[in-house]
Amino acid sequence: MQNLSLGKSNNNIAQSGFTLVELVLVLILLGILSVYAVPRMFTTDGFSEFATQQRLISALRTIQIKSMQDTSSNYCYRVIFDTSATPAIGPSVAAHVDGNQALSCGNTIDANASEYLRISEAEFSDFNLSLLASDDGAAISYLEFNSLGQPLSSGGRCVNACRISLSGQSTTHVCIESEGYVHAC
């Protein structure tokens, strides 16, 4: 007959839990993440350039579409690039007087323009960004679009693409091709 006992068995019961080595490794990994990864997730460093790039693309495309919808030759659709120590980007101050194109092509940024069409000095300062606008290597102060959506810069026709560079912790570029394609490059 078999011996049946109702007491404790002599079989080893497996222990569940973590060893001290495993706990120390997890704590070390969490420490490394907290020092390097977490601060990057909660700051805008390096991301402001890309956000500003997308805003600039949107503003340029909006001005371009406006110029293509208005087929009269009496108005100017211009974006001013102020590359001074306090840079800014925005549409020109425009006085759309019938038959007077010169009045519709101002050389200063319209401070009353919608915010989605301009990037102010304060934003450049807050994000610590600098601006460089060029047409085939030559600095430009404005970019306007004709009724076909083609760019005309203060330096010419953007034959080899006009390029706007936004620099901070990283550098992003917006290119405007000679036929009017506005894109990140």
Most confident of 135-139, 141-145, 150-154, 172-176: 172-176
In this structure, of 62-76, 95-109, 141-155, the range with the lowest mean pLDDT score is 95-109
At 175, the pLDDT band (50, 70, 90 cuts) reads very high
Is 144's pLDDT higher than 60? yes
**Side chain identity, residue 162:** C
Q: How far apart are CA 134 and CA 31, in angstroms?
A: 46
Q: What is the pLDDT of residue 85?
A: 77
Mean per-residue pLDDT of the chain: 81
pLDDT, greater one: 98 or 67: 67
If one compares 131 and 11, the residue with the highest pLDDT of the two is 131
Rounded CA-CA distance 29/8 in Å is: 41
**Over 90: is that where the pLDDT of 183 sits?**
yes
